[in-house]
Amino acid sequence: MTPLFSRTRLALMLAVLTGLSLGACTTIAPEPEDDVARHASRAPVMTIPVTGAPAPDPLTQAPRDVEEGMASWYGARFHGRLTANGEVFDMDALTAAHPTLPMPSLARITRLDTGASVIVRINDRGPFVEGRIIDLSRAAAEALGFLGEGLAEVRVEAYGPADPEDRAAISGPLARRTVTTAPGAANR
């Protein structure tokens, strides 16, 4: 007859009980409720600065790409959450979400019916609604005057990568732009 508690069984039971008792001593920190606190402990997003080429100047350089279509805006529901490139979304900053433009980059957004124009920093992906080409922050939509309508026909002029260290686009609405004499001519 074999003993009820062989040495192997006894060692195994002792190991399991030790593991359970040590596991009961640990505490688990509660999950932060907001995105900013949840991601605060993550390592910062590493950006590699491009040397030798300054950030584009949308006030003097011609755009690299131009497209026209419908714009919408997003605000309070996403305020404080992380954007696609790791920045914290600020609905009061002049920023935008675009499906394909590099991040971060600068773009001039011009409302076609009024000529109002603003320069934004592309720092997010979207819009995810068919028929729309760009989602603007609340501040950019306000500068273009379509907060109430929610949608506006716009021209998006892409200027290329923004300075990765500069988290703010040019603030405030721009004066109405004059018509250029040739396609791709510099902004005036």
pLDDT score for 19: 64
131 belongs to a structural domain? yes
pLDDT, tens digit, 9 for 90 and up, residues 26-59:
544 444 454 444 444 444 444 444 444 556 666 6
185 belongs to a structural domain? no
133 belongs to a structural domain? yes
pLDDT score for 60: 73
pLDDT score for 20: 61
Residue 155 belongs to what domain range?
65-161
104 belongs to a structural domain? yes
Structural domains in the chain (count): 1
4 belongs to a structural domain? no
pLDDT score for 178: 41
What is the residue whose two structure tokens read 């011009």? 110
186 belongs to a structural domain? no
pLDDT score for 2: 56
Q: What's the chain look like in SS3?
A: CCCCCCHHHHHHHHHHHHHHHHHHHCCCCCCCCCHHHHHCCCCCCCCCCCCCCCCCCCCCCCCCEEEEEEEEEECCCCCCCECCCCCECCCCCCEEECCCCCCCEEEEEEECCCCCEEEEEEEECCCCCCCEEEEEEHHHHHHHCCCCCCEEEEEEEEEEECCCCCCCCCCCCECCCCCCCCCCCCCC
48 belongs to a structural domain? no
Q: Dmax over Cα atoms in the chain, in whole Å?
A: 103
pLDDT score for 160: 79
Q: Which residues of the chain have pLDDT under 50?
A: 1, 27-32, 34-52, 168-188
Which token pair is 12? 């195994």
CATH of residue 135: 2.40.40.10
1 belongs to a structural domain? no
